[in-house]
Structure 1
Amino acid sequence: MCNHARHDRVHPIYCILPPHMLKEIAKNGTPQQRSLAIDTLSADHTFRQIRSVQAAMLAPRRGAAVAPVAAAPSVHRTIYTANQTETLPGTLVRSEGSPKSNDVSVNEAYDGLGATFEFYQEIYHRNSIDDAGMPLIGTVHYGEQYDNAFWNSQQMVFGDGDGTLFNRFTVALDVIGHELTHGVTEHAAALAYSGQPGALNESVSDVFGSLIKQYTLKQTADKADWIIGAGLLAKGVKGVGLRSMKEPGTAYDDPVLGKDPQPADMAHYVQTAQDNHGVHINSGIPNRAFCLAAIDIGGYAWDKAGRIWYETLNDSHIKPNTTFKTFAKLTVSNANRLYGANSAESKAVSKAWDTVGVL
């Protein structure tokens, strides 16, 4: 979530770039890079205006668009451009079934929303983000050289990046899947966005964002890169992406961005009041647990490891304040239910959580 999160009863706005990274840019970057980072960090008032407009414009439309129970699930995408403004949703540029645009960002957003819908429908029989046919809306070219992308519980929004630190934010499919999965988590588990529940919220988005990319590329767990945001860092930046699920803390080490602060196990859990008590930082621990389990189980990660995590996300025992340990125990319980108490799958899940020090 953005550093400029709302603190009222509506859902927070979830940004892909964590505040600790933006703060490093604000401290270490060129004057232009610092200015852009500060603008992103101080955008709270703008987002408050966005939410009030969005609630008025989109809520009625969503209710009217829910498909009849008998209708087969089908994707409904609408892409807008903000034309470098901060007005949402913007100008309509592509709707469901219309031809490709000459704008690569429009097409990447359209394809990314479609790939996410297809993944959840084909693999877990989920009908869109809310499991009730929610239309998928995206806005590209938000702001001027805006270094972020976010989900605001209504739609996806993509910045173009500044070109020196970040490329356009539509370039990474797993980023799109990550942000939309925040919507899935809102509807399925309502995990609080602070501390360990918030880090689980971020981790779930990384898990399924990565699985969406792997599913699209038809990669097995041992062939996947397990990098979140590969291709997002601009040329010359010392890093491979925003986070590494396989080796948390190694995604980047750059003079401007700083060093990836994610811990790989509970022995290095970061106690901090920043970033909603470390939601983007400590998510590396459950991320690594999933990656270890998926590789140990083998095959396509969405098939068994992903199903265990998805069933856990929808488990009635999940509460808004669920901790790492509670979530881990529930993944083991669901692995036992799905594959057997002494199954290889169950053992792999238990071993993974033990390796990162949660169980």
Structure 2
Amino acid sequence: MIQELFVFIDVASGDVVDAYNTIGHLAEDAGLDEEQVDIVAQPSPTLLETAVNAQALPEDIDRSDFGPMHGSGFGVHGDYRVLNLVYKISDIPQGTFKLFDWTRPDFEGIYTYDMKNQFQSSSFSLPGDPFTNNTAGFNSTYDAPGVDAHYNSTKVYEYFLEEHDRNSLDDEGTALISSANYGDNFNNAFWNGRQMAYGNGDGQQFIPLSAGLDVAAHEISHGVITNTAGLLYRFESGAVNESIADIFGVLVDTSSWDIGDNIIGEAWLNEGRTALRSLEEPGKFPVNANYVEYGDGSGVFPAHMDEFYDMPLNVDNGGVHVNSSIINHAAYLIGDEVGREALGNIVYRALTVYLTPISNFSDTRFAFIQSAIDIYGEGSDEVDATVDAFDGVGIYE
């Protein structure tokens, strides 16, 4: 899998005493076979920091060369999207149009790049090249993953601004950067500490992952988490990190309580796999076959602490994508009782006020309950629902 490591060094001896991957993926490995894993694996942080990158980053672009305008495009599922673009003034009337959005004050903007179906390498690194067209209509099949990445980034930005008065990842208007068309048949999406990247899937397990609004919300939420609680991406704190990303996924995309129900490929659909994870009914989907031995033998996502997977650090960072479904289910129980808006208020306050980098499941119970008390008051329906939800999944004080 792609790696960006936290490395812990003994200051006296200089020895590496611990290291683990920090990239927030949508899925644990999304069924990648060994050949794909070898292709995807990248040394870090050396490559991420030193790869040759001739592509223009937001801070490198002279905005005086461009003007804003509206354009359009079609997403992966054929949905018509109205888009905010920029055009290069000197190129008119021929036209150079980019999937950049500079329309909001006090916000650096939304930037959507094209990785051209390549993995990151020493000669072509993230974010890739700006998604560019010679008309304001991004209508080709090739453009569709970029159109969805751009459009969905806008929707997620608007959710955090309108619902939580948060101006982007850091609440200071930092740019939202996405790269579509990442890799070759890459069955995943990830947040790497700076930006989002979306694979196009292999067509069997996944179609282009940028098609999912919940997927975009999940990845962008990793960026919000990085800039708030900073939950360490390992064991229970990492599972809380993954869960909060999932929760915001279904708060932005309210069409269901499932994650990834718009990105599943033909083979998985034929097998009855309609989504990646479910907050409402975690056990309806199986975990990776390699993880079964660490659980109760059921082989499905857990909904209760009795079903917790005791996984080592070198397997899914200690179960971050698996045990997260326990917190996920607690969130569903809260939302089902008092509504998505109240759930979002509780989770956002917990994330920004009470959770810390090392918060575990018990800490998360406290953070959610205290947040409900802060917002809605002792004895409120929201507090009772939150207490009952954590009791219901076996997370106690």
Q: Does the pair score TM above 0.5? A: yes
Instruction: Give distance in 1, aligned partners of 2:23 and 2:289.
Output: 28
1:241 aligns with: 275
Q: Give the 3 Å change call, closer, same or farther, for CA 196–56 of structure 1 in structure 2.
A: farther
Q: Give the 3 Å change call, closer, same or farther, for CA 45–280 of structure 1 in structure 2.
A: same
Instruction: Give distance in 2, aligned partners of 1:256 and 1:268.
Output: 16
1:309 counterpart letter in structure 2: V
Q: Give the 3 Å change call, closer, same or farther, for CA 15–113 of structure 1 in structure 2.
A: same
- Does the 8 A contact of 1:297 with 1:305 survive in 2? yes
1:160 counterpart letter in structure 2: N
- Does the 8 A contact of 2:350 with 2:368 survive in 1? yes
- Does the 8 A contact of 1:94 with 1:106 survive in 2? no
Q: Give the 3 Å change call, closer, same or farther, for CA 37–49 of structure 1 in structure 2.
A: closer
String of CA shifts for 1:34-64, please: whole Å, max 9, x gaps. Answer: 5335533xx12277413444999889929x9
TM-score (norm 2): 0.74
Deviation, structure 1 residue 94: 4.9
Q: Give the 3 Å change call, closer, same or farther, for CA 335–165 of structure 1 in structure 2.
A: same
Question: Which of 199-208 and 74-83 deviates more?
Answer: 74-83
Q: Give the 3 Å change call, closer, same or farther, for CA 121–100 of structure 1 in structure 2.
A: farther
- Does the 8 A contact of 1:210 with 1:226 survive in 2? yes
Q: Give the 3 Å change call, closer, same or farther, for CA 101–155 of structure 1 in structure 2.
A: farther
**For 1:314, what is the secondary structure of its paired residue?**
helix
1:198 aligns with: 238
Identity %: 29
Q: Give the 3 Å change call, closer, same or farther, for CA 121–334 of structure 1 in structure 2.
A: same
Instruction: Give distance in 2, aligned partners of 1:48 and 1:157.
Output: 19
Q: Map 1:261-280 to 2 at 5 A.
A: 261-273=300-312, 274-280=315-321
- Does the 8 A contact of 1:240 with 1:252 survive in 2? no
Instruction: Give distance in 1, aligned partners of 2:278 and 2:144.
Output: 27
Deviation, structure 1 residue 4: 3.6
1:172 aligns with: 212
Match of 2:111 among 54, 64, 78: 78
2:332 aligns with: 291
- Does the 8 A contact of 2:214 with 2:259 survive in 1? yes
C-alpha RMSD of the superposition: 3.1
Match of 1:349 among 382, 386, 393: 386
2:251 counterpart letter in structure 1: L
Match of 1:50 among 44, 48, 51: 48
Tell whether 2:260 aligns with 1:229. yes
Instruction: Give distance in 2, aligned partners of 1:51 and 1:175.
Output: 26
String of CA shifts for 1:57-106, please: whole Å, max 9, x gaps. Answer: 889929x99xxxxx9444611111111222322221159xx654531111
**For 1:320, what is the secondary structure of its paired residue?**
coil
- Does the 8 A contact of 1:3 with 1:18 survive in 2? no
1:7 aligns with: 6
**For 2:244, what is the secondary structure of its paired residue?**
helix
Question: Which of 123-132 and 327-336 deviates more?
Answer: 327-336
Deviation, structure 1 residue 121: 0.4
Q: Which runs of 5+ in 1 are unaligned?
A: 27-33, 66-70, 215-223
1:321 aligns with: 358
**For 1:36, what is the secondary structure of its paired residue?**
helix
Deviation, structure 1 residue 5: 4.5
2:59 aligns with: 61
Deviation, structure 1 residue 261: 3.4
Higher percent of residues as helix: 1
2:59 counterpart letter in structure 1: R
Match of 2:26 among 16, 21, 28: 16
- Does the 8 A contact of 2:146 with 2:180 survive in 1? yes
Deviation, structure 1 residue 241: 1.1
- Does the 8 A contact of 1:74 with 1:133 survive in 2? yes
**For 2:253, what is the secondary structure of its paired residue?**
helix
Instruction: Give distance in 2, aligned partners of 1:203 and 1:268.
Output: 16
Q: Give the 3 Å change call, closer, same or farther, for CA 3–269 of structure 1 in structure 2.
A: farther
How many residue pairs match? The answer is 326
Look at both structures and tell me which one has the larger radius of gyration over its CA atoms: 2
Tell whether 2:323 aligns with 1:282. yes
**For 1:157, what is the secondary structure of its paired residue?**
strand
2:150 aligns with: 110
Deviation, structure 1 residue 11: 8.4
Higher percent of residues as strand: 2
Instruction: Give distance in 1, aligned partners of 2:386 and 2:24.
Output: 28
Instruction: Give distance in 2, aligned partners of 1:290 and 1:15.
Output: 20
**For 2:6, what is the secondary structure of its paired residue?**
coil
Tell whether 2:246 aligns with 1:209. no
- Does the 8 A contact of 2:56 with 2:130 survive in 1? no
Q: Give the 3 Å change call, closer, same or farther, for CA 240–181 of structure 1 in structure 2.
A: same
Q: Give the 3 Å change call, closer, same or farther, for CA 6–184 of structure 1 in structure 2.
A: same
Deviation, structure 1 residue 348: 0.5
